[in-house]
Amino acid sequence: MRAKYWQVVVALVLSALFAGEAAAQVGRVNGLVRDDSGNPIKGATVTASNPNIGPTTYTATTDEKGRFTVIGLRAGQWRFLANAPGHSADISELSVRFGSPNPGVNLILRRNGPLPTAPLGSVTAREIQAQLAAADAFFNQQKWDEAIAAYKAIVAKTPALSVVQLQIAASYRNKKDYDNASAAYEALLAADPANQKARVGLATLSLDQGDAAKAEATLSAAAQNADAGRDIFYNLAELKSSKGNADEAAQFYRKAADADPAWGKPRYKLGLLAMKSGDSAGAARFMNDVVTVDPTSQEAALARTALEQLKK
């Protein structure tokens, strides 16, 4: 009995050691899924995928506060696809690491958009993820034509996943085929008129072609719409800041922060603007806000460093 007892103890110790070693090699990502009014979405499905790492996909479901957690992700570039009945889908990407906290993933699903789960027909979610993984593999290998064909095949089979047009547009952008990139963004807007990423993409295409005035006009027009959201305001603020218009930049950073109270990025930029103007008290206030509302983000880490500098 005593020998058996020690065998069990040794097994438990070894198990704990190996578990600790395995845990050190994987990352944990927390996130939040909300609608375009900032309300949490319960029961949304979030799929993390990376075609270069096995297992290639992980799936989580949001709780009553719209929160989700994915555990076990190995280091690398992961894409997070969220969908829920009655809402448009949304995609975000994150470079996952282990050994330190990963930034949170915030996904916003527009209400009353195309249903991403109902019209799949005979195509299963697993099949879609496999197709996305294959398309992503082409994209990561910079095989743009193959990636475009693969992404287009997905949209043809599953029109509800119109958000994949973002990847099609990105592939065309990498080819410097700006006309087709623009067409992909426009196709997404036809299916989902309030898609902020598509409008930002169109502005970015103008910047790629050296037309900052057109980019600003595109974002300024979008900012006037009733459905304008954080991505529009933030990117317009960035453009204003790049031109040295600090006051106008601050105005739109504030709008971005108001549009997404849990997003630390615009608050961090407001803190930087305050530091640059010599407003130490204002800078500290914004940096503390970043740490409070978005504590696991990269901006929060930068804000903590800035706060230490402000104390000196």
pLDDT in the model for residue 210: 94
**Is residue 98 situated within a structural domain?**
yes
Confirm if 192 and 114 have CB atoms less than 8 A apart.
yes
User: Of 192, 215, 224, 193, nearest to 89 (Cα)?
Assistant: 192
The Cα 78–Cα 80 span in angstroms is 7
CATH number of the CATH domain containing 45? 2.60.40.1120
Which domain, by its residues, includes 99? 27-113
Nearest-CA neighbor of 165 among 183, 186, 188? 188
Inside any domain, residue 84? yes
Domain count, the chain: 1
What pLDDT, on the 0 to 100 scale, is given for residue 146?
95
Residue 114: cis peptide before it, omega within 30 degrees of 0: no
Query: Does 54 reside within a domain?
Result: yes
**Where does residue 293 rank: exposed (0-12), middle (13-18), buried (19+ CB within 10 A)?**
middle
Single-letter amino acid, residue 56: T
| Cα 219 from Cα 232, distance rounded (Å) | 6
Q: Which residue is associated with the tokens 């996909």?
A: 57
Contacting residues for 216 by C-beta, under 8 A, at least 6 apart: 203, 236, 239, 240
Asked if residue 71 is part of any domain, the answer here is yes
Is position 93 within any domain? yes
237 and 252 Cβ atoms separated by less than 8 Å? yes
pLDDT of residue 10: 38
pLDDT of the residue at 120:
46
Q: Within a domain: residue 279?
A: no
Whole-model pTM?
0.69
Low-confidence residues in the chain, pLDDT < 50: 1-24, 113-121
In a domain, 126, yes or no: no
Query: Is residue 146 one of the residues assigned to a domain?
Result: no
Extract the runs of DSSP E, i.e. beta strands, from the chain: 26-35, 45-49, 57-61, 67-74, 76-83, 90-96, 105-109
